[in-house]
Amino acid sequence: MTTAILLVAGVGSRLRPLTDHRPKCLVPIGDETILARQVRLLAAAGVTRLVLSTGFAAEAVHAALAHAPLPVTFVHNPDYASTQNIVSLHRALAVVDAGDVVKLDGDVVFTEALLPRVLRRSDGAVVAVDDRQPVRDEAMKVRAVGGAAVDFGKGIPPADAMGESIGVEWFGDAARGELGAAVAAAVGAGRTQLYYEDVYAEVIARGVRMACVGVGDLPWTEVDDPSDLARAVALVRAAG
């Protein structure tokens, strides 16, 4: 059983007024929303359950998935405005007690070819990395050795990075357990301003191999601002 965790708690302030009353994941990109496209592609890839970690305008997300093609569990992060995404991930992992998980940021748009590269059947983990495009200074970067991630961070010099983490990772059953333990320890210690990637190094230190899968040859974009949204619409139009 593969569970998809979707982090959809953010406000999306740079897309206002489109996000005045709805989270980024419900912004349209063509004939469907970012969320609807993610759910459709996840179902096609064999995912069997969805867990959504909500925050801003949670009721809109509930309504949007009233007729979802997969079973849905909602968890809510009431502190979404004052904490980082590690808290949303922590709440989502708390309701997954078996099987593997694929975690997606709620604002990433990609083609159907991406998920089959990332989903695996092992006890390890996989991180999708854009290994083709120039690495932006502000991007969440991945440092890799021998095809496996050894460090994550926005502060990694671009020259030292394999590429940018696009916000899609897969964790096998054993790796999911280690991730849950590391995230819970961080949140329990009050480290709620961390990005979830900040804890991935701790997961690696626990013995989990996070294989880096290059996806830079595939169209994708995160949607933070109007120019990103325009790229997403163009991506969807080109994909047909």
177-224 pLDDT per residue, tens: 999 999 999 999 999 998 888 899 899 988 999 999 999 999 999 999
Q: In the prediction, which pLDDT does 139 show?
A: 85
Q: What is the pTM of this model?
A: 0.94
Residue 186 near residue 86 (C-beta atoms within 8 A): yes
pLDDT in tens, 184-194: 999 999 999 98
d(CA 8, CA 88): 9
pLDDT above 70 coverage of the chain, percent: 100
Domain hosting 29: range is: 2-239
Domain CATH number, residue 114: 3.90.550.10
pLDDT of residue 120: 78
Give residue 40's pLDDT: 96
Instruction: Provide CB contacts within 8 A for 75, sequence distance 6+.
Output: 51, 52, 53, 54, 91, 92, 94, 95
- In single-letter form, the type of residue at position 111 comes to T
Structural domains of the chain, count: 1
**Adjacent-strand bridge partners of 2:** 100
The least confident of 24-33, 59-68, 109-118, 122-131 is 122-131
Residue 216 CB-density burial (10 A; 0-12 exposed, 13-18 middle, 19+ buried): middle
**30-53 mean pLDDT:** 96
For 95, the 3-state DSSP assignment is coil
Query: Please, which pLDDT band fits residue 73 given cuts at 50, 70 and 90?
Result: very high
Contact 96, 176 (CB under 8 A): yes
pLDDT number for residue 136: 82
